[in-house]
Amino acid sequence: MSDTAAAVTVRPRKPRPQIRSYVLVIALAAFTLFAARQIGFRWGSFIDMWTNPLWDRFWPVPWDWVFNRHNVFDPLIETFQIAIISTVIGCSLALPIGFAMSKLTTPSTPVFWVSRFVMNIVRAIPDLLWGKLLVTAIGIGAFAGSWALTIFSLAVMVKLFSETVDAADPLPLEAARAAGGRHTPAVRTAVLPDVFPAYVAYALYVFELNIRASLVLGLVGAGGIGRVVETQRSTFNFDRLLGILIIMFAIVIIIEQISVAIRKRLV
């Protein structure tokens, strides 16, 4: 008894930090400093950034130019079209491929490994690099941009979706197979209803991603509003640039709000 009483009054010994964690922190700090030097880090640029006289040329925004239909509105429509068609095609293809990429529902082991391998490679190339590659392959314009976003959104979607399928309840599928269901109908009736809400939620996410990506695709020549941004920047019309940016900003915020509202209703 006296032991316990003594133990309460004595302050517990502070655990000593391990040498390993010190070494890790120092190594990371050293790497950070080294990396900062390598890329030309300057404290001064935090100040220069704001005091640069070039900012004055961003104001006032020529609203009559911005609201002219041909200047901003039409390329913006093209942006939406790229995002919509790549989301629809990418997500439709993701349904069967996502099932093939899950251990639970894959038709065969080779299909499982091949689809995973290919999709991991595709996902490792960022969306704008796909844009640049496809512009080179099939020519400048919205068509190449749609291909790029379709491929990239397919790769993102199958990753998210296949892991949801992995986590799905395996028992209904077992029951469907025990009742003699063939592979596709069994998956369709036993797994699909379970994962479909997640599929729709991810599809909305991918749509949001695609809207954001398609806004900048034009910087590499793949169509949409980014093309206008690039031309105005290279001709130093910064006031027009700011007008376009404000509109892009509004669109991203509106789309996000809509998407959040729909996703909330889905739950």
Partner 1 sequence: MTAADVIVPEQSDPPTGRPERPMAARNWRIGITAAIIIAAMWSWTGLDASFQDVLDAPGKGWNIVKQMWPPDFKTVVDRGAVGKIFESLYVAWIGTMIGAIISFPLSFFGASNVAPAALRVPIRLLFNAIRAVPELIVAMLLLTVTGLGPWAGALAIGLHSVGTLGKLSTEVIETSDEGPLEAISAAGGTFIEKMRWGMVPQVLPTVIGYWLFRFEINVRASAVLGLIGAGGIGGELVSQLNFRNFPQVGAVLLMVIAMVLIIDTISGFARRRIIAGSGRKIDDDDHNASTEALAGLLLGDSIMRPNKPND
Please give the residues from 210 up to 229 whose contact with partner 1 meets the rule CB under 8 A.
Answer: 212, 215-216, 219-220, 229
Tell whether residue 54 is a contact of partner 1 (CB under 8 A). yes
CB of 87 to partner 1, least distance (A): 9
DSSP assigned state of 161 = H
Residues 168-187 within binding reach of partner 1 (CB under 8 A): none
Tell whether residue 201 is a contact of partner 1 (CB under 8 A). yes
Among 2, 9, 38, 109, binds partner 1 (CB under 8 A): 38
Nearer to partner 1, 48 or 174 (CB): 48
Tell whether residue 140 is a contact of partner 1 (CB under 8 A). no
Tell whether residue 248 is a contact of partner 1 (CB under 8 A). yes
Closest by CA position to 100, among listed 84, 90, 114: 114
Contacts of 107 (CB under 8 A, 6+ apart): 100, 183
Among 159, 176, 228, 243, binds partner 1 (CB under 8 A): 159
Residues 74-133 within binding reach of partner 1 (CB under 8 A): 77-78, 80-82, 84-85, 88-89, 120-121, 124-129, 132-133
Cα gap 200→105, rounded to integer Å: 19
Nearer to partner 1, 72 or 220 (CB): 220
Residue 14 dihedral angles phi and psi, to the nearest 5°: -70, 130
CB of 2 to partner 1, least distance (A): 26
Tell whether residue 205 is a contact of partner 1 (CB under 8 A). yes
Tell whether residue 41 is a contact of partner 1 (CB under 8 A). yes
Tell whether residue 245 is a contact of partner 1 (CB under 8 A). yes
DSSP class per residue in 49-105? HHH-GGGGGG-S--HHHHTSIIIIIHHHHHHHHHHHHHHHHHHHHHHHHHHHTSTTT
For residue 221, the surrounding DSSP H or E stretch is none
Contacts of 103 (CB under 8 A, 6+ apart): 112, 166
Instruction: Give, in degrees to the nearest 5, the angle at Cα 106 between 102 and 108.
Output: 135
The residue whose two tokens read 């509004």 is: 250
191: amino acid identity, one letter: V
User: Segment contacting partner 1 (CB under 8 A): 3-11, 30-38, 61-69, 98-106?
Assistant: 30-38
Tell whether residue 233 is a contact of partner 1 (CB under 8 A). yes
CB of 26 to partner 1, least distance (A): 15
